[in-house]
């Protein structure tokens, strides 16, 4: 039975791009990611200082450009199917990451992290996220290839996550209720004083953790929660580990700049959660379809159509959000200062 399930999983995987990646190719890509991280930290942001919106917008454009440009490398290397899956996966991860960025804003505000130290702290958060996502990706692909039922499980996880994001009550981030943070504080001596951008410092002749270490723990644990949604989502459109990891990596690399770009703009993207819910529901249904329909009816949603649906949903979400924001501004200008922040009604 297990052998049959494994065989079916491999058969379905054949509908996605699949290729061998040599160790030196993995090493080359990881060196590229490490080089970009080091250049960003030691060259572009060598000094700890606040990041302006203009600078963050330019850097976000550069990171997004790099992420999309890598699709050309995949196209040249493995063809259109692989490149299409990469772009679709990148778009999913980039859009889901915006919700992650808003949570970062809550964490950094709760700990009152000085603006000059936020970028360096997020750097280590990004580094940890890459390691965690890599573990999730390789485990997820291995489970799907070995156990066909994982398609069913991941699909229902995505459907539930879609409902929770789109219609569920907002869950506030409270570090005081974080089990991971409580456990760390019991083991690691801590101080409430900052010492520049250091994670550890010396106080009364002993080594203690600064609040930035607690911030880092919160960022990593929240990313772990977000990975439960994002990794199954991308596995609905790609199964090749290199495609899944590379699209994740480029999406994550630009999150720091994106944070400084969209921080404080949650109201301008008021319908974002609904759009993300629709995206997750779509990929969840697509994954369930991989379990129920592909073997029965030989039907498969092609990559280009998935990319078109996701792009359209995100475009409509942003357009409706900006339109509602303009409507609110016009209402306030017309003498209705108490316009409803959600739909503009007075």
Contact yes or no for 85/303 (Cβ under 8 A) = yes
pLDDT for res 250: 93
pLDDT for res 107: 80
Number of residues assigned to the chain:
346
Q: b/e map of 198-230 (b: 16 or more CB within 10 Å)?
A: ebbbeeeeeebbbbbbbbbbbbbbbbeebbebb
Give the structural domain span for 176: 2-333
Contact yes or no for 189/206 (Cβ under 8 A) = yes
The pTM score is 0.76
C-alpha angle with apex 311: 307 to 315, nearest 5 degrees?
A: 175
Q: Is 145 exposed, middle or buried (0-12, 13-18, 19+ CB in 10 A)?
A: middle
Question: Six-digit token pair at 2?
Answer: 């297990």
The DSSP call for residue 29 is H
Alpha-carbon span 253 to 125, nearest angstrom: 10
- Whether 304 is covered by a domain: the verdict is yes
Taking CA atoms, 48 is separated from 120, 121, 131, in Å, by 7, 10, 24
Alpha-carbon span 277 to 285, nearest angstrom: 12
Taking CA atoms, 9 is separated from 13, 90, 145, 235, in Å, by 6, 24, 5, 13
- Whether 262 is covered by a domain: the verdict is yes
pLDDT for res 26: 94
CA gyration radius, the chain: 21
pLDDT for res 1: 36
Total number of domains in the chain: 1
Those residues whose C-beta lies under 8 Å from the C-beta of residue 263, and which sit 6 or more positions away, are 101, 105
Tens of pLDDT along the chain (346 residues) come to 333 333 333 334 457 888 899 999 999 999 999 999 888 877 767 776 677 778 888 888 899 999 999 999 999 999 989 999 999 889 888 887 777 777 777 788 778 788 778 877 888 888 888 888 888 888 877 777 776 677 777 777 778 777 877 776 555 556 666 676 777 777 788 777 788 778 888 877 788 888 888 888 888 877 777 777 778 888 878 889 999 999 999 988 888 888 877 765 666 667 777 877 787 777 777 777 665 555 544 445 566 666 777 778 778 887 887 787 778 777 777 665 555 554 443 3
């Amino acid at each position: 039975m297990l052998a049959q399930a494994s065989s079916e999983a491999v058969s379905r995987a054949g509908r996605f791009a699949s290729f061998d990646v040599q160790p030196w190719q993995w090493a080359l890509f990881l060196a590229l990611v490490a080089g970009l991280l080091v250049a960003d930290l030691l060259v572009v942001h060598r000094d700890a200082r606040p990041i302006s919106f203009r600078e963050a917008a330019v850097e976000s454009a550069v990171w997004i450009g790099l992420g999309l440009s890598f699709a050309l490398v995949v196209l040249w290397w493995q063809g259109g199917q692989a490149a299409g899956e990469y772009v679709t996966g990148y778009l999913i991860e980039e859009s889901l990451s915006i919700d992650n960025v808003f949570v970062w804003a809550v964490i950094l505000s709760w700990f009152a992290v000085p603006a000059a130290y936020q970028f360096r702290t997020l750097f280590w958060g990004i580094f940890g996220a890459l390691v965690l996502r890599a573990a999730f990706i390789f485990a997820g692909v291995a489970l799907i290839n070995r156990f066909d039922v994982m398609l069913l499980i991941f699909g229902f996880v995505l459907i539930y996550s879609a409902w929770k994001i789109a219609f569920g009550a907002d869950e506030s981030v409270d570090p005081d209720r974080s089990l991971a943070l409580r456990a760390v504080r019991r083991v690691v001596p801590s101080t409430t004083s900052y010492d520049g951008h250091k994670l550890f410092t010396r106080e009364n002749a002993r080594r203690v953790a600064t609040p930035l270490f607690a911030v880092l723990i919160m960022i990593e644990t929240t990313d772990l929660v977000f990975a439960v949604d994002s990794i199954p989502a991308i596995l609905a459109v790609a199964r090749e580990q290199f495609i899944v990891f590379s699209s994740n990596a480029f999406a994550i690399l630009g999150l720091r700049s994106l944070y400084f770009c969209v921080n404080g703009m949650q109201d301008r993207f008021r319908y974002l959660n609904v759009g993300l819910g629709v995206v997750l529901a779509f990929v969840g249904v697509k994954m369930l379809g991989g379990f129920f329909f592909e073997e029965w009816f030989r039907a498969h949603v092609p990559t280009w159509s998935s990319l078109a649906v996701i792009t359209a949903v995100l475009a409509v979400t942003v357009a409706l959000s900006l339109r509602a924001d303009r409507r609110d501004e016009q209402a306030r200008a017309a003498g209705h200062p108490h316009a409803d922040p959600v739909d503009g009604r007075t």
